[in-house]
């Protein structure tokens, strides 16, 4: 008797229980944290196994916030993300590999401002649980670093003392909860 193949499960990001953040060094002495308030994504798995999953994600540039309206406007301008001409950033995985009991390496293509580059992200699986509505939820903390200038986010300034205003390295921190019914 043939055994049925495991079903493909589609998990979607629950935006009310997820945060998409970035941190960048300012004046090389402290970090400025920003986040995207509007985003969506999905993960397709075979059964409940996240190894070899397929991941896709997008964030709306106009939803960026750093807690400073003037800085947010500058980030949306042509100096940085150019939201008018590039309204979203996107990520599409090329592979997901299990690296430990609860850890994964997610490789894929990140597109910002029309430039696509490969990136490797680290993911820690926080577990799975059913909620009050019969949905199965899974949580992940995903981290990585990009070089912003590689994506055309090239605005730069130097202080009078010769210090760099904004670092090229940007840390990504995604705390996501995905759900399937």
Q: What burial class does residue 16 get, using C-beta atoms within 10 Å of its C-beta: 0-12 exposed, 13-18 middle, 19+ buried?
A: exposed
Strand runs (DSSP E) across the chain, as ranges? 8-13, 19-26, 30-36, 39-46, 49-60, 64-65, 88-98, 103-112, 115-130, 136-147, 166-180
Strands 8-13 and 166-180: antiparallel
Dump pLDDT digits (tens) for 111-135.
Answer: 999 999 999 999 999 999 998 888 8
Residue 22 in any domain: the answer is yes
Structural domain span for residue 134: 8-180
Residue 96 in any domain: the answer is yes
Beta bridge partners of 22: 34, 172
Residue 48 in any domain: the answer is yes
Residue 55 in any domain: the answer is yes
Residue 3 in any domain: the answer is no
What local confidence, expressed as pLDDT, does residue 107 receive? 98
Residue 1 in any domain: the answer is no
Residue 130 in any domain: the answer is yes
The three-class DSSP label of residue 31 is strand
What is the pTM assigned to this prediction? Answer: 0.89
CATH of the domain at 108: 2.40.128.110
Contacts of 156 (CB under 8 A, 6+ apart): 164, 165, 166
What local confidence, expressed as pLDDT, does residue 163 receive? 45
Residue 62 in any domain: the answer is yes
Supply φ then ψ for residue 150, to 5 degrees. Answer: -65, -20
What local confidence, expressed as pLDDT, does residue 153 receive? 76
What local confidence, expressed as pLDDT, does residue 1 receive? 59
Q: What's the token pair of residue 63? A: 């939803």
Terminal C-alpha separation, the chain: 29
Contacts of 134 (CB under 8 A, 6+ apart): 181
Dump pLDDT digits (tens) for 122-178.
Answer: 999 999 999 888 889 999 999 999 988 888 877 665 545 544 456 778 899 999 999
Question: Is residue 180 within 8 Å of residue 10, measured between CB atoms?
Answer: yes
How many structural domains comprise the chain?
1
């Amino acid at each position: 008797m043939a055994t049925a193949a495991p079903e493909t499960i589609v998990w979607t990001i629950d935006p009310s229980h997820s945060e998409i953040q970035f941190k960048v060094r300012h004046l090389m002495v402290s970090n400025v944290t920003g986040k995207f308030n509007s985003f969506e994504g999905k993960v397709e798995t075979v059964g409940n196994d996240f190894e070899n999953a397929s991941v896709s994600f997008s964030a709306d540039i106009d939803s960026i916030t750093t807690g400073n309206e003037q800085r947010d406007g500058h980030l949306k301008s042509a100096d940085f993300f150019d939201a008018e001409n590039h309204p979203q950033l996107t990520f599409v995985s090329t592979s997901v590999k299990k690296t430990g009991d609860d850890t994964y390496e997610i490789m894929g293509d990140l597109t910002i401002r029309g430039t696509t580059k490969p990136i490797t992200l680290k993911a820690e699986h926080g577990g799975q649980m059913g909620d009050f509505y019969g949905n199965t939820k899974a949580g992940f903390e995903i981290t990585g670093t990009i070089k912003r200038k590689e994506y055309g986010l090239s605005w730069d300034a130097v202080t009078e003392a010769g210090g760099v205003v904004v670092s090229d390295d940007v840390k990504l921190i995604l705390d996501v909860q995905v759900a399937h019914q």
